[in-house]
A and B are shown apart, each in its own frame.
Chain A
Amino acid sequence: MFEFAWYNGRRRIKGAGALTVGLGLLTALYVYMFPTITSEVNLDEYAESWPPALREAFGVESLSTIEGFLATELYAFGWVILLGLYVAYSAASLVADDVEHGRMDMTLSLPVTRSRVLLETFASMLVPVFLVNLAMPVIVYVGVAAIDESIPVADLVMVHALSIPYLLAAAAVGLVASVTFDRADIAQRAAMGVVFGLFLVDSVTSGTDFSWLGALSPTRYYDPAEILVRSTWDLQGAALLLGVTAVLVLVSRELFRRKDIA
Chain B
Amino acid sequence: MSAISVNGLTKEYGDVLANDAVSFDVEAGETFGYLGPNGAGKTTTIRTIMGFQSPTTGTATVLGADVRDEAALVEARENVGYLPSNPGFDETATGMEILDLHASVKGDARREELLELFEVPVDRKIRGYSTGQTQKLGLVQAFMHDPDLVVMDEPTAGLDPLVQQRFNEFVRDETASGTTVFLSSHVLSEVRRVCDRVGIIRDGRIVTVERVGDLLDRSGKFVRLGVAGEVAMDDVTLDGVHDLSARPVEGVAAGAPAGGGSTVAGTATELTFTFTGDLNALADFVAELDVLELDIEEAPLEEIFIRFYDDEQVSA
Question: What residues make up the interface of A, taking CB atoms closer than 8 Å to B?
Answer: 3-4, 7, 11, 98, 101-106, 108-114, 257-258, 260-261
Distance (Å) between the CB of B262 and the closest chain A CB?
61
Q: State the CA gap A105–B47 with chains docked (Å).
A: 8
Known A-B contacts A109-B77, A261-B52; A11 and B90 likewise in contact (beta carbons under 8 Å): yes
Task: Tell me if B105 and A109 are in contact (CB < 8 A).
Answer: no
Q: Which residue of A lies closest to B93 (CB)?
A: A11
**Given the complex, which residues of A lie within 8 Å of B104, measured CB to CB?**
3
> Is B8 in the interface zone, CB < 8 Å from A?
no
Task: Tell me if B51 and A108 are in contact (CB < 8 A).
Answer: yes
The one of A7, A101, A257 that contacts B101, using a Cβ cutoff of 8 Å: A7
The one of B70, B88, B97 that contacts A103, using a Cβ cutoff of 8 Å: B88
Q: State the CA gap A233–B97 with chains docked (Å).
A: 43
How many positions in chain B have a CB within 8 Å of any CB in the partner chain? Answer: 29
Q: Which residue of B lies closest to A102 (CB)?
A: B88
Task: Tell me if B52 and A108 are in contact (CB < 8 A).
Answer: yes
Q: Which 4 A-B pairs have the closest CB atoms?
A: A102-B88, A109-B82, A260-B53, A103-B88
Task: Tell me if A260 and B102 are in contact (CB < 8 A).
Answer: no
Chain B positions 140 through 170: 1 when the CB is less than 8 Å from some CB of chain A, otherwise 0: 0100000000000000000000000000000
Distance (Å) between the CB of A93 and the closest chain B CB?
12
Q: State the CA gap A71–B82 with chains docked (Å).
A: 52
Task: Tell me if A103 and B89 are in contact (CB < 8 A).
Answer: yes
Task: Tell me if B105 and A105 are in contact (CB < 8 A).
Answer: no
Distance (Å) between the CB of A120 and the closest chain B CB?
11
**Given the complex, which residues of B lie within 8 Å of A260, measured CB to CB?**
52-54
Q: Which of B101-140 contact A (CB under 8 A)?
A: 101-102, 104-106
> Is B230 in the interface zone, CB < 8 Å from A?
no
Task: Tell me if A257 and B86 are in contact (CB < 8 A).
Answer: no
Q: Give 6 A-B pairs besides A108-B51, A109-B84 with Cβ atoms closer than 8 angstroms.
A: A102-B86, A102-B87, A105-B84, A110-B105, A111-B75, A113-B70
Task: Tell me if B84 and A111 are in contact (CB < 8 A).
Answer: no
Task: Tell me if B101 and A111 are in contact (CB < 8 A).
Answer: no
Chain B positions 61 through 79: 1 when the CB is less than 8 Å from some CB of chain A, otherwise 0: 0000000001100110110
**Given the complex, which residues of A lie within 8 Å of B82, measured CB to CB?**
105-106, 109
Question: What residues make up the interface of B, taking CB atoms closer than 8 Å to A?
Answer: 47, 50-54, 70-71, 74-75, 77-78, 80, 82, 84, 86-90, 92-93, 97, 101-102, 104-106, 141
The one of B50, B90, B92, B101 that contacts A109, using a Cβ cutoff of 8 Å: B50
Distance (Å) between the CB of B205 and the closest chain A CB?
21
Q: State the CA gap A26–B203 with chains docked (Å).
A: 60
Q: Which residue of A lies closest to B153 (CB)?
A: A105
Task: Tell me if B70 and A261 are in contact (CB < 8 A).
Answer: no
Task: Tell me if B87 and A106 are in contact (CB < 8 A).
Answer: yes
Distance (Å) between the CB of A119 and the closest chain B CB?
15
**Given the complex, which residues of B lie within 8 Å of A108, measured CB to CB?**
50-52
18 cross-chain CB contacts under 8 A: A3-B104, A4-B101, A7-B97, A7-B101, A11-B90, A103-B88, A105-B82, A105-B87, A106-B82, A106-B84, A108-B52, A109-B50, A109-B82, A111-B78, A114-B70, A260-B52, A260-B54, A261-B52
**Given the complex, which residues of B lie within 8 Å of A106, measured CB to CB?**
82, 84, 87-89, 141
**Given the complex, which residues of A lie within 8 Å of B80, measured CB to CB?**
109
Task: Tell me if A102 and B105 are in contact (CB < 8 A).
Answer: no
Q: State the CA gap A258–B51 with chains docked (Å).
A: 11
Q: State the CA gap A114–B74 with chains docked (Å).
A: 9
Distance (Å) between the CB of B46 and the closest chain A CB?
10
Q: Which residue of B lies closest to A100 (CB)?
A: B88
The one of A11, A101, A112 that contacts B74, using a Cβ cutoff of 8 Å: A112
Known A-B contacts A105-B50, A260-B52, A261-B47; A110 and B84 likewise in contact (beta carbons under 8 Å): no
Distance (Å) between the CB of A7 and the closest chain B CB?
5
Task: Tell me if B88 and A105 are in contact (CB < 8 A).
Answer: yes
**Given the complex, which residues of A lie within 8 Å of B52, measured CB to CB?**
104-105, 108, 260-261
Task: Tell me if B50 and A113 are in contact (CB < 8 A).
Answer: no
Q: State the CA gap A98–B106 with chains docked (Å).
A: 20
The one of B53, B77, B93 that contacts A111, using a Cβ cutoff of 8 Å: B77
Most buried by B among A4, A7, A104: A7
Distance (Å) between the CB of A241 and the closest chain B CB?
31
Most buried by A among B53, B70, B74: B74
Distance (Å) between the CB of A156 and the closest chain B CB?
35
Q: State the CA gap A101–B97 with chains docked (Å).
A: 18
Task: Tell me if A110 and B71 are in contact (CB < 8 A).
Answer: no
**Given the complex, which residues of B lie within 8 Å of A98, measured CB to CB?**
88
Known A-B contacts A102-B86, A102-B87, A105-B88; A3 and B101 likewise in contact (beta carbons under 8 Å): yes
Distance (Å) between the CB of B202 and the closest chain A CB?
23
Q: State the CA gap A102–B77 with chains docked (Å).
A: 18
Q: Which residue of B lies closest to A257 (CB)?
A: B70
Q: State the CA gap A237–B61 with chains docked (Å).
A: 48
